[in-house]
Structure 1
Amino acid sequence: MDNLIMSSATVGIVISLLAYEIGLAAQRKWKLALLNPLLISIAIVIAFLVVFHVDYESYNMSAKYLSYLLTPATVSLAIPLYLQLDLLKKNIGAIFGGVISGVIASLGTVLVMSIVFGLSHKEYVTMLPKSITTAIGMGISEELGGYVTISVAVIIITGVLGNMFAEYICKLFRIKSPISRGLAIGTASHAVGTARAMELGEVEGAMSSLAIVVCGLCTVIGASIFSYLW
């Protein structure tokens, strides 16, 4: 099986897409937030690699073309934002203030937890880009000297958790404004969370899309500053 995947440019892609489709089918049938398609597909792919003794590098070489779609997929999130441009203009101060506050809170939380758990500097900077899209987070982690592969895993986990629990957290804290909900989800859980925000409404999806961009830019600057604090 390992040789088959290494010799094929599509087997890894097929396995990934099938695993995701299984996750989508499970979510449609039982309609539970815990049955997140991305989380299920990750579990299925891991199980496949373990059962058939497939080396991760072999799988990655065969599925790497999916990664090339990350950037255009993120850019396409500008479409719902454009459709809500008037709303953005009316609330621009509150929007940017909220996103910047979220970025500082994210970086500050990583700093505090790193101090509490005694993480090394390399481990610390690995966690800093946890709440931004993978395309940007990988670059930040590499630039700061972190473990890029772990950064990717942390970013995905953050996004999946945001996708699963964002709606419940908004209800818990009685956040009812569509703008506030969208900004909170996008700032905390990037593109994966934004997928959930779009299900909640057009405004939530647009604001979450905006938060991804602003959060990414602010984190590039903020992570560089915070990297000197531990």
Structure 2
Amino acid sequence: MRALRILLVIVVVLGGIFVAVDRAAVYFAESEAAGRVKVTGATIGSTDISIKGFPFLTQVAGKQLDEVDVEITGIETDADGRRLRISRMNAALHDVKLSEGYSSATAARATGTAVISYKDLTEAASEGVAVEYGGNNKVKVTGTVDVLGNPVSRSVLSTVTLVDGHTLRVHADEVPGKGIPGLEGLVRKKTDFDREVGGLPSGLKLQKIQPTEDGLEISVTGTDVQLAG
């Protein structure tokens, strides 16, 4: 019995050491991976990586991770000559294969959410246009136009849709003041616009867009998503 107890203690101690080493390896790997994430054609602010599954060391030995959660903040791209910034993006990547030398990783599939704040959307809109939440899945767009030498300001409720899976379109449902000749066309030149959403990791595609109080929430999904390289 004494020998059995000693054996059990040794097993528990060794198990504890293995868990500690495994968790330390995860922490190191997460830090290294976060510093290697790159997005083609965009700059990024910061990246946070969380590697799921246990034990980690056996996953690394097999060069495949069960799940990796990624959060990227401040993805900046150029959209039609104007800066477009994705405030943050969260994605869960599954069946992540590691390359030889662990220099890159590719996920078999991924799902996530990207958010564009109204401040950032305003900066991507036309000059002198402000965008904010309008309630009921709409955005409120305000712009000022010149009518016969007089500034005329109009606020419109607009619908935001996805076009061709990579472009967001802001289109006013109705423009107030239809009695003024040419006003609607002038206002729409300001308030209606398309902007391509770039800067997502290779393999991710836009699926659905939803205006919320915090900004435009975009569902993303993808296959063969490149995490780093």
- Higher share of residues assigned helix: 1
Shared fold, TM over 0.5: no
- Higher share of residues assigned strand: 2
Q: TM-score, normalised by structure 2?
A: 0.21
